[in-house]
Structure 1
Amino acid sequence: MSGNSGVPLVRGEASLQRATFLELFLDLVFVFALTRISARVIADFTDGQRGVLAGLGQALLLFLALWAVWSLTVWSTSWLDPEAPIVQTVIVLTMIGAMTMAVAVPDAFGARAALFAITYVSLQIGRVVYFHVAGHGRPDPRQTLRVLLWFGVSAPLWIIGGLVDDGTVRGPLWTVAVLVDYVGLYLGWPTPRIGAQRIGGRMIAAEHLAERYQQFLLIAIGEAIFVLGLAFSGSGFHADQTGGYVLALATTVLLWRIYFHVAGRVQDAAVNHSRNAPRLATEMAFAHLIMIAGIVLTGVGFELFITEPRGHLPAAWLIAILGGPVLFLAGRSALEYQVFARVSRSRLAGLLALGLLVPVTIRLEPLTAGAAAAVVLAAVAVGDARRSRRRLAETPRPPF
C-alpha cells in the first residue's frame, strides 16, 4: 500500500520501531498542555472561583480531549510508517492543533471555548479526511467511514458547547461528546454493515506503541517535576518548604520506580503474546490515561504541600494529595493485569491503605498528609523489590 508519492504508507516488518524525532517534537506540545491543565487545577484548589469539583470536572474533560488527540496519533504512527510524507504532514498538523488547544485550556470553559472545541473537531476530522484524500482511500477506506460517522455524532456537541454562552449547558454537551468519542475509540467505532475495527488491528508495531506509552508517562512525571520545582523556587526556602520539596522529589522517583517495575517494561511483549492484540493495546491506553491523570493530580498535591506545608488541611486538598496516588496505583494495577493477568497484593494493599488514610490525614497538616502518601508508595516499591528477588523473570501472559 502506498500514498500518491509511491512511498509505502503502512509499516513494513523492517520499519523503525523507535519513535521518530518528529514524534518526540510533538510530545513537547503535550508537555505544555499538561502544565496548563495543572495550572487550572491548582487554581481551583487555591482561589475557589470555580469550585474544586466543578473545576476538576472541567479539567478532566479538557484532558480527555487532549489525550484522545495524542492517543489516536500514536496508534496511527504505530500502524502507518511515520517516515511517510503523508504521516509526517499529519503529525505536524496535529502539533499545530494540539498547541492551539493547549493555549486555550486556561479559559477553555469561558472566552476560549469555541477555539478549543472547533480546533479539536477540525483536527480529529481533518486528519481522517486528509489521510483518505492524500492516500487515495488507502490504507482502509472502511476505517475512514467508521471514524467519520462517530465524529459526526460528537462534533455538533463539541461545537454547540463551544459556541453557547451558558456555561451550565457547555459542560453536559461536552461530557456527552467525550463519552461518544471514547466509546467509539474503545469499541473500534462499530458501524452498521461494516462492523468495528480498532486502528491497525494486529498490524500495530507493538514495540513502538509501548515506547510511546512509556514516553508519555515520563512526560507526565516531568510535568510533576516542573510543578514542584516552580512551587519551591517561588517559596521562601524555609525548612518546612524544603522538606516538602524533598518529599515531592522522592515521590516522583517512587512513581517512576513503580511504573517501570516489570510490567511497565514488557508491554510490547504482552501485545505480541496476546490473542487479541488490538483490544490489549486499547486497554493499555486507558490504563495509561488513568496513571497519567493520577500523576498530574499528584503534582498538584506537590504544589499544595510545598507552598502551604503547615496549618489547616482543607479536606478538598486530599483529592490531590491522596487521590493522585490512588489513581496512579489503580491504573498501574490495571496495566499489571493486562500484562500478567494478575495484580500484585502490594498494589491492592497500597490502594486500601490510601483509602484508610483519608479519615486520619484530614486531621493532619498538608506536609504530613503528603508524607503519608509517600510512605504507602514506598511500601509498594519495597514489595515489588522483594517479589523480584523471590521470582525468576516472568513471561507476559495477557488475559486475552
Structure 2
Amino acid sequence: MRNTSGVRLLRDDATRQRATFLELFLDLVFVFALTRISARLIVDFTDGQPGVLAGLGQALLLFLALWAVWSVTVWSTSWLDPDAQIVQTVIIMTLVGAMTMAVAVPHGFGARASLFAITLVTLQIGRVVYFHLAGHGRPDPHQSIRILFWFGLSAPLWVVGGLVNDGTVRGALWTLAVLIDYTGLFLGWPTPRLGAQRLGVQMIAAEHLAERYQQFLLIALGEAIFVIGLSFSGSEFHNDQTGGFVLALVSTVLLWRIYFHVAGGVLGTAIDRSRDAARLATDMAFAHMVMIAGIVLTGVGFELFIAEPLGHLPSAWLIAIFGGPALFLVGRSTLEYQVFGRVSRSRLAGLLALGLLTPPALHLQPLTAGAVAAVVLLGVATADARRSRRRPAETPTPPY
C-alpha cells in the first residue's frame, strides 16, 4: 500500500525478511538498557536485604516499560516496510527515546523518575502522531486512534508518577499505567466504536518477527555474558571465583541450548501455520518477555556467586540464583505450548525441582546453590537431547 505521496508503507512479498541494520542498531540501545537494569538489581541485592523486594518491583516496572517500547517497534516493522523513510524515522525516534530512558534507569525511581516517565510518554505518543501525519493516515488511520486512546489513559499516570516525591505513590501509579499499557497491547487496543485490532493483523512477516524475538533473547544472553565477564575481571581470580566464572558460562550455554531446542528455532514456521497469526505473535512476545526477565535475573545471580562464592547465603539471593532459571523455564514452557500445543515434562520437572530444592538450598554456600541450579538446567537440556534422538523432527502445530 502507498500513501498519498506514493511511498510504500506496507510490506509486500518482495520486501526482505531479514532485520535491517537500523533495527539491529536499535537493539544495541536495549543491550545497554538491560545492563542498567542488572546493575540496579545487583545493588539492591548487595546493599541490604530490606530493599530487595521493593528494588525488584521497581526494576520490573522499568523493564516492562522498555519492553513495551521494543515490542511495539518490532510488530510495526514486521507489518510495515522497514526500508520506508517514514518507518526508519520512527525507528530513529525510538532509538533516541529508548536511550534516554536507559540512562535514567539507575535512578528511575528517584532523581531521574520524571525524565524516564516524560520520555516514555513523549516517545509512545509522539511516534504514533508522527507516523499518522507523515503517512497521511495510511495504512490504517483507525489504528492510530486506538493506540492514542490507550496511551492517553496511561500517560497521566506515568507523568504524575514521575513528578511526585513519594516513592510508594509513584509505584502505585506506574503499576496501574503498566497494567493499562499491557492490557491494550494484549487485547489489540479495544476502543469505543472502533473495536480492537492487533498490529500486523493484515500481514505479518513471520520470518522477520521470529528472527527479532530470537535476536533479542540472544541480546539478553549477551548481557548475562557481560555481567559474568565484568564480575570476574574485577575479582581476585581465586579458585572459588574462577569456579563461579566457569559455572556461570556453562549455565548461560544451557539457557541458550534450552531455548533453541526445536521450539525456539521454528518460530517463523509456527506463525505461518497459525490460524490467528497476530494473536500468536502477540503471545510469543509475552513469552519472550518472561524468558528475558529470567535471563536478566539469572545474570544477577551469576554476579552474586562470582563475587562472593563462599560463606553465608542470604535468603534473598535465591530469588536470583533459583528464581531466574525458574522464570526462564516458565517463559520457555509457554513458548513451547504456543509452538506445539503441549509442554515437555522436562520443563515442568525442572520447575518442580527448583521449587523443592529451595528450602535446603538456604543452607548452602552461594556457589553451591548456583551449581544446583545449573544441574537442574543440565537435566532439562539432557532430557531434550534424549527426546530428539528418539523422535523424528516435529512440525509446529500452534493451538490457535
TM-score, normalising length: structure 1? 0.99
Partner residue of 2:320?
320
Shift of 1:204: 1.0
Q: Counterpart of 1:39? A: 39
SS, match of residue 385 in structure 1: helix
TM superposition shift of 1:48: 2.2
Deviations 1:269-315 (A, max 9, x none): 11111111111101000000000000000000000000000000000
Q: Does 1:15 align with 2:19?
A: no
Identity %: 79
Equivalents in 1 of 2:50, 2:103: separation in Å? 19
Helix, strand or coil: the match of 2:291? helix
**Long gaps (5+) in structure 2:** none
Deviation of 1:50 after TM superposition, in Å, equals 7.0
Alignment match, 1:343: 343
Question: How far is 1:194 from its partner?
Answer: 1.1
Q: Is the 8 A contact 1:3 1:86 kept in 2?
A: no
Separation (CA, whole Å) in 1 of partners of 2:276 and 2:8: 26
User: Which residue pairs with 1:386 in the alignment?
Assistant: 386
Q: Say if 2:164 is the partner of 1:167.
A: no
- Amino acid paired to 2:383: G
Q: TM-score, normalised by structure 2?
A: 0.99
What is the letter of the counterpart of residue 141 of structure 2? P
Q: Residue 168 of structure 1: CA displacement? A: 1.4
Mapping for residues 76-95 of structure 1, pairs under 5 Å: 76-95=76-95
Q: Is 1:48 matched with 2:55?
A: no
Runs of 4+ in 1 over 3 A off after TM superposition: none
Q: Residues of 2 paired with 1:8 and 1:106: CA distance? A: 40
- Once residues 3 and 256 of structure 2 are traced to their aligned partners in structure 1, the CA distance between those partners, rounded to angstroms, is 40
How far off is 1:2 after superposition? 2.0
Matches of 1:92 and 1:188 in 2, distance apart?
24
CA-to-aligned-CA distance 1:204-240 (integer Å, 9 cap, x gap): 1111000000000000000000001000000000000
Matches for 1:252-267 after TM superposition, within 5 Å:
252-267=252-267
- Aligned AA for 1:123? L
Deviation at 1:160, TM superposition (A): 0.3
Deviations 1:45-76 (A, max 9, x none): 00128700000000000000000000000000
Q: By how many angstroms is 1:360 displaced?
A: 1.2
- 1:11–1:81 contact (8 Å) kept in structure 2: yes
| Partner Cα separation in structure 1 for residue 47 and residue 137 of structure 2 | 51
Corresponding residue number in structure 1 for 2:107: 107
What one-letter code is carried by the residue in structure 2 that aligns with 1:117? A
Residue type matched to 2:358 in 1?
A: V
User: Quick one: distance in 1 between partners of 2:2 and 2:229?
Assistant: 47
Please tell me the residue identity of whatever aligns with 1:397. T
Aligned residue pairs total 400
Q: Please name the residue that 1:192 is paired with.
A: 192
- Quick one: distance in 2 between partners of 1:50 and 1:21? 44
Alignment-mate amino acid for residue 60 of structure 1: L
**Does the CA-based 8 Å contact 2:254-2:378 persist in structure 1?**
yes
**Structure 1 match to 2:283:** 283
- Structure 1 residue 3: Cα displacement: 3.6
CA contact (8 A) 2:40 2:59 kept: yes
| Higher alpha-carbon deviation: 379-388 or 47-56 | 47-56
Tell me: CA distance 1:50–1:12, structure 2 relative to 1, closer, same or farther (3 Å).
farther
Q: Distance in 1 between matches of 2:26 and 2:48?
A: 33
**Is the CA contact 2:338–2:399 (under 8 Å) kept in the aligned structure 1?**
yes
Cα distance in 2 for partners of 1:325, 1:365 equals: 18
Q: How far did residue 38 of structure 1 move? A: 0.1
Q: Which amino acid aligns with 1:371?
A: A
Find the aligned partners of 1:98 and 1:298 in 2 and give their Cα distance.
23
Return the letter of the residue paired with 1:18.
R
Aligned-partner residue type, residue 137 of structure 1:
G
2:338 aligned with 1:332: no
| Secondary structure of the structure 2 residue equivalent to 1:237 | coil
Q: Is the 8 A contact 2:64 2:178 kept in 1?
A: yes
Instruction: Assess if the C-alpha contact under 8 Å between 1:4 and 1:134 holds in 2.
Output: no
Cα offsets for 1:215-266 (capped at 9, x unmatched): 0000000000000100000000000000000000000000000000000000
SS at match of 1:161: helix
Q: Which amino acid aligns with 1:6?
A: G
Secondary structure, counterpart of 1:217 in structure 2: helix
Instruction: Return the offset for 1:7.
Output: 2.3
Counterpart AA for 2:14:
A
Query: Offset of 1:166 from its aligned partner?
Result: 1.4
Q: Please tell me whether the aligned partners of residues 49 and 316 of structure 2 are also in contact (alpha carbons under 8 angstroms).
A: no
Question: Is 1:3–1:134's contact at 8 Å kept on the other side of the alignment?
Answer: no
**Structure 2 counterparts to residues 151-162 of structure 1, below 5 A:** 151-162=151-162
Could you give the per-residue CA deviations for residues 132-183 of structure 1, whole angstroms, max 9, x where no partner exists? 0000001101101100000000000000000111111100000000000000
Equivalence for 1:210: 210
Question: What is the rounded CA distance, in whole Å, between the counterparts of 2:275 and 2:385 in structure 1?
Answer: 30
Please, which runs of 5 or more residues in structure 1 have no aligned partner?
none
Q: CA deviation at 1:6?
A: 2.2
Partner of 1:125: 125
Give the Cα separation in 2 of the matches to 1:50 and 1:132: 47
For 1:302, the equivalent position in structure 2 comes to 302
Distance 2:49 2:29 in 1: 28
Shift of 1:193: 1.2
